[in-house]
Amino acid sequence: MPPKRAPIKKAFSTGGRRATVGKATVATTSQGEEIATSSTKKDGDAKDEAALDGFPLFRHFATEIQQEIFTQAIRKPGIHYMAVKKKVVLGYTLPDGRATAATWKLIYAPRSTTKDGSSHRLSEKISKVNRKAQQAVELANQNKGQLPFSRAWSLIDVKDDLVVFDFAIGATRHVHSDFRYFHIDNQIFAPFFDAAASYPLGKTKVIEAASGETKQIAFKGLADVKKIGLFYKQSTDRICRKSNTVFQCCIHTTISVGAHKNWIMCPEEVAGFIDSLPSIEQLYFLIQPNKKWSKQEEGRIALYKKWFFSCKFTKPNLFISTTLTNSSPAYHEQLRTTGNVADYLTMFHDADKTYIEVDRFLMLPSGKKRRIDLEVVKEARDVIKELKKQLVKDGPDIPQAARRNYRSSYAARQAMVIKILLPVDI
């Protein structure tokens, strides 16, 4: 049966082409036959067509293939960076005469567009291509949340994505970058850290869905984020026993700083920061490249990257004991067959690069003679070891005099997953 013709005003000349007459899109064959391909083209679909003018064959792909291409371009799970500063809230006197102490809280802003490789910026650009791209972005963020920015739109997945706190690192005596102190036991003098005000809850917003209709969606907030990241860059100047770092040792604490005085973070203060986050389940240290890295160290990173994506394991017991102690039994069961190591380790992606998990199993794979390790990774691993001790300082086996106070439950802190990530180009 020949295709149904659409009503048109004038026949076209010979030669295959497309044209739009009113709301009807008409195609002509090389013999001059007019074929109506759509008689009810919507304005939104017309914009979609225009957005893909540079890729003329893309619109001919099946819808499923188009959405899969957009999904791969989104790069999940993603990384979102936040510039973090401090805001002091002065104390005041209540009507009944009681005085409230001064407090400080964390406030957030997006990085500058020239330096920000956050996944939410990439998703925002992709969603503007057409409605299929917008739908792919929505499907990629099943646990919809929004970062606490006052103006910028920033859709994230609060369960799977990694949110990185980029603290304004300057002289911490500056009013906006003096982050003393996070641990509840170290807050002796005002202003005190206000954890409840530092992690906003979600909000309900009215948005235009991929279908073109407006609807209300309840977005989760920073208080619901499960995975938090911190930058880790080795330094001889900014160390935790000095007053120019974010997680500096408390001058009033009884903890011995001899063992970690030259680390860039005080484990006790990092434990206080973790304790202040209401929904955190995993913490990641993102190793930052050092300009002073030697060619040998850069070669080690390149070799680790190669092993990460090429190594296979055949001894799951060794692999499980070193990397998956916090995984479920079902996850363990998957490792009883030979597979790629990269499939079971952690990866996150921003718009420019990928962060891969640093794992002891890959530091010296079976049959290899060359060990892959970096001094900054060793230090971060030492910090994690001490940090895990600090997180359970209120345990039943801790003497009463040595116990520390925490806001969150002991079980949640004991189950905390802490890992190291290394940046690589893919």
Question: Do residue 149 and residue 265 come from a single domain?
Answer: yes
Question: Do residue 186 and residue 263 come from a single domain?
Answer: yes
pLDDT category of residue 230 using cuts at 50, 70 and 90: very high
Give the number of other Cβ atoms within 10 Å of residue 186's Cβ.
21
Domain that holds residue 11: 1-41
Question: Do residue 279 and residue 299 come from a single domain?
Answer: no
Higher confidence at residue 190 or residue 314?
Answer: 190
**What integer best gives the mean pLDDT of the chain?**
78
The per-residue pLDDT for 313 is 64
Q: What is the DSSP letter of 249?
A: P
Give 153-193 as a DSSP string.
--EEETTTSEEEEEE--S-TTSTTT-----SGGG--SSSEE
Render the burial of 64-78: b for 16+ CB within 10 Å, e for the rest: eebbeebbebbbebb
Q: Do 373 and 297 meet the contact criterion of CB atoms below 8 Å apart?
A: no
Whole-number Å distance between alpha carbons of 339 and 310: 10
Q: What is the DSSP letter of 149?
A: -
Question: Do residue 185 and residue 101 come from a single domain?
Answer: yes
- Supply the angle between the helices 119-127 and 131-140 in degrees, to the nearest 10: 150
Per residue in 276-312, pLDDT tens?
A: 999 999 999 999 887 777 788 888 888 888 888 887 7
Whether residue 328 is contained in a domain is answered as yes
Indicate the range of 36-45, 174-183, 256-265 predicted with least confidence.
36-45
Whether residue 184 is contained in a domain is answered as yes
Candidates 39, 30, 44, 42; CA nearest to 8 is 39
The per-residue pLDDT for 261 is 79
Q: Rounded mean pLDDT of 349-365?
A: 81
Indicate the range of 43-52, 78-87, 98-107, 340-349 predicted with least confidence.
43-52
Whether residue 104 is contained in a domain is answered as yes
Whether residue 353 is contained in a domain is answered as yes
Q: Do 328 and 399 meet the contact criterion of CB atoms below 8 Å apart?
A: no
- Supply the angle between the helices 375-391 and 267-276 in degrees, to the nearest 10: 60
Alpha helices in 164-294 (DSSP H): 195-198, 267-276
Whether residue 52 is contained in a domain is answered as no
Whether residue 51 is contained in a domain is answered as no
- Amino acid present at 318: L
Q: What are the DSSP E strand ranges found in 191-304?
A: 192-193, 203-208, 214-219, 227-232, 282-287
Q: Rounded mean pLDDT of 328-355?
A: 72
Q: Rounded mean pLDDT of 246-264?
A: 72
